[in-house]
Amino acid sequence: MTASQIKLVQESFPSISEQGGAIAMLFYGRLFQMQPQLRPMFRQDIQLQGQKLMDMLSTLTGSLDRFATLTPILRALGQRHAGYGVRDEHYTAVSTALLWALGTALDGEFPQDLKSAWVAVIDAVSDVMKAGAAEVKVS
């Protein structure tokens, strides 16, 4: 992630946060449409799960300029997700669904440079989480 990508993501988050509930529902709807086998992994109320997603995105975007401090948290999250049955290929589906939800909610306010910035953030998070999951498999 570049400094300009971090800035774009952070500047876009207030608009995203305002639509948090709708974005979360768009995201989970798209994810389950693309990967219906993932639905049983989400045993909680999906609105509560959506709030957790938005809380995580808020924390993440607020900490992007010190991403290294998030690494242990993201590794542990990846380890927990591995325990739920999440596999590497699921990260691609999550990325696709989240980018679609953001683009849909932001409509004309999701230009290519902003989308690319979000891709960089999502990829960085996914890489750390997958590394954490790999530690569980090796252990």
Determine the pLDDT at residue 84.
Answer: 86
**C-alpha span between 11 and 33 (Å, rounded):** 30
Determine the pLDDT at residue 111.
Answer: 93
pLDDT in tens, 18-40: 999 999 999 999 999 999 999 98
- Per-domain residue ranges of the chain: 3-138
Report residues of the chain scoring pLDDT below 50. 139
Do the Cβ atoms of 97 and 34 come closer than 8 Å? Answer: yes
Supply the pTM of this predicted model: 0.90
Tokens of 128: 């750390």
Fold topology of 3-138: Globin-like (1.10.490)
Could you tell me if residue 86 is left (phi over 0), alpha (psi between -120 and 50 degrees) or otherwise beta?
Answer: beta
Determine the pLDDT at residue 108.
Answer: 78
Residue 111's SS3 state is coil
Determine the pLDDT at residue 16.
Answer: 94
